[in-house]
Structure 1
Amino acid sequence: MPRLSPDQRQQAIGRLDAGQSVQQVARAFGANVTTVYRLQQRFHATNSTCDLPGRGRPRVTTARQDRHLVHQHQRDAFETAANTARNTFGVHGQPVSARTLRRRLGGQNLVNRRPA
């Protein structure tokens, strides 16, 4: 089910204020009733139809960069995560830490482990 565009959100609020029910508005836009109800609640609480800010810290790398890191580490299997991270830059030129690289590689069992 597609998201409501900002224009559709404004139109939905207008229809609700005009007296249409949540079910009628949801049917008109092809949205879920819960979606329209939550939009109405958010509009009454914040007087805005914009999305609320996302939670958590933004990711340093994109999914594409993550795949590239895995491929690069597979190619240089004996390179340490710290050295690979030193040569890698994430979104907006931010450096990628060795810990971030290890997290990205953790699911692939490619992290270099020290011998016991």
Structure 2
Amino acid sequence: MSGKPLRMSDLTPVRFTLLDSSVDRVGLITRSERYVCAVTRDSLSNATPCAVLRPSGAVVTLECVEKLIRKDMVDPVNGEKLTDRDIIVLQRGGTGFAGSGVKLQAEKSRPVMQA
């Protein structure tokens, strides 16, 4: 958000881990969920807060970051040391509901008739 133009060296590759189709997890995970956390194998969705680990590009849940990764500050995918800058929190997408995850405030208030 600095206003400077982006360069290719500023970009980070992001690798989502696909759900293993050989494991029958139909009872646990619906078929619409295709991606999982690279470490814990928890399903990822629009409602799941996620982060990218810069050295490996792996997508993990923020719960995994707080409980497992921040203790040692080591990337569990490739074993490299991490800094706080290496953990990039992803902004979640919309869920289909109006105003989801956003603080809404009325702009106009008018008298309402009540019966």
Larger RCO (CA under 8 A, 6+ residues apart): 2
More strand by share: 2
TM-score (norm 2): 0.22
More helix by share: 1
TM-score (norm 1): 0.22
Larger radius of gyration: 1
